[in-house]
Amino acid sequence: MLSCDICGETVPSEPDMKAHLLIVHMENEVICPFCKLSGVNYDEMCFHIETAHFEQNELGRNFERINRIQYGTSDNRKDNTQQCRMEVNSSIHSACASNAKVSAQSLLKDGTLKHKAFYSENLTESRKFLKSKEKQCDLSKIKGSVYDTVYSPPECPFCGKIEDCTQDMETHVKIKHANLLDTPVEGMDRVQCSRDLELAHHLQQEEDRKRRSEESRQEREEFQKLQRQYGLDNSGGYKQQLLRSMEREVNSGRMHPSEFHRRKADMMESLAIGIDDGKTKTSGIIEALYRYYQNAATDVRRVWLSTAVDHFHSSFGDKGWGCGYRNFQMLLSSLLQNDAYDDCLKGMSVPCIPKIQSMIEDAWREGFDPQGASQLNNRLQGTKAWIGACEIYTLLTSLRVKCHIVDFHKSTGPLGTHPRLFEWVLNYYSSEREGGPKVVCTSKPPVYLQHQGHSRTVVGIEERKNRTLCLLIFDPGCPSREMQKLLKQDMEASNLKQLRKFVGNLKHKQYQIVAVEGVLTTEEKIARRQASQVFTAEKIP
């Protein structure tokens, strides 16, 4: 067992004593175990203990500890090292004995020498002798000794250079290896800080540039997607799409070349005069519905129908984007058959789609709906741009047709349904629900119905015997061959499936309708043109 000089703690082996000295007395502050003195180094603390606390720390025990710690051997030491240590130990004891005799004689002569002075003198002589013997035996080369560990010169952890003391080593590291330290030397900190800020600023700028570039790319892609979706991608309009579609039909063998040239000639004539060629029109459906409800439809309590209206469906030239134009053709076909609108629509025919685009542009130039015009770049001709309720309102108002927009901006029933919309249509077609015939042909024009991505035309409404309501709707996406089935004398209820829309069938988030109310005077037209600078609509709810 080895005992520590400073604190007296005993440890079983020399490596444990090394660790104890390094951890407790070198890395931590050295404190006297007897009087709590601190702030001194290891040698000074040893001297303090051996002089100031002699009574608690007898001379013989201290010398024994010095022998064990400083010169204790392990089983694998070399013989010459053991011999040298034995000489040192014997010399220490000889020196102690010799000094003891001298001290005794001195004590007899003056009688005033104190025991502590005697001990201090012995200790000093012993240490001098010990150091001379260490030099002779080259004890500094003995591996694992406490002096090798505690008092070895400091070595630079970066380049291996050895300095005389810790302060010199700290100065060396701070000067020679400042760039490897977290805290640079004074004078370099501002330079390093400036470099760090410059690098951080550069990295931030690069990140911002990449972010802006990515955002711009996404915006361009979204804008191009919207342009394609709404027909503003400069890919041509009705004429170009019709020609390309017919060419594909010829190439696939579904159309004979002679048929292609005949249709092309008809299209050019229609575009020249601005009147629809009627190839997608189906007339007489309202009359056929009136006959059917008179003789059949036992599950229907009452039904209200609009004035006569022709159905127009999309063609090769406007497939995918022309529903708004086709619904305007349906609405206008009804107004042209209504004498109440002869004053404002006199001499008109149902225009073709490019002509409708031209008419809307004329209304914009008059000053109607400048915001809508700006959104569509003030141009519709030669494009496949969609139109909606605002463009229908603008065109009708420019023709002095009195109308208004009603916005069903959110659902009013369970599961996203719009029962208020059905009630509004019922009130539009009928002011007197009780009494009267089962089938009522009103003088009301059809209603333009818009929702996200599509538009249709409401031509009537059923009130069934269970008091539920069902709209009758013309869809421009329904081809003529299907609509013509409604003209048969023996029309079946299944043929009405394409027209009937119950409350549960209309679940879009928002619906807008354009309802015709009559004819505008010139002054009213001017007032509405002024009001269209900021569009407003009746909101339900």
Residues catalogued as catalytic: 323, 454, 475
Per-residue exposure over 192-216, b if at least 16 CB sit within 10 Å of its own CB, e if not: eeeeeeeeeeeeeeeeeeeeeeeee
- φ and ψ at 302, to 5 degrees? -145, 160
CA atoms of 113 and 504, how far apart (whole Å) = 119
Who's near 470: CB < 8 A, 6+ residues apart?
461, 462, 464, 500, 501, 502
CA distances from 382 to 119, 220, 360, 376, 391 (A): 117, 22, 13, 12, 17
Bridge-based pairing of strands 10-11 and 439-441 is: unpaired
Who's near 26: CB < 8 A, 6+ residues apart?
42, 150
163 in Cβ contact with 169 (< 8 Å): yes
| Nearest in space to 484 (alpha carbons), one of 498, 470, 502 | 498
88 in Cβ contact with 139 (< 8 Å): yes
Helix (H) or strand (E) holding 90: helix 79-110
CA atoms of 58 and 73, how far apart (whole Å) = 24
| Nearest in space to 302 (alpha carbons), one of 425, 443, 460 | 460
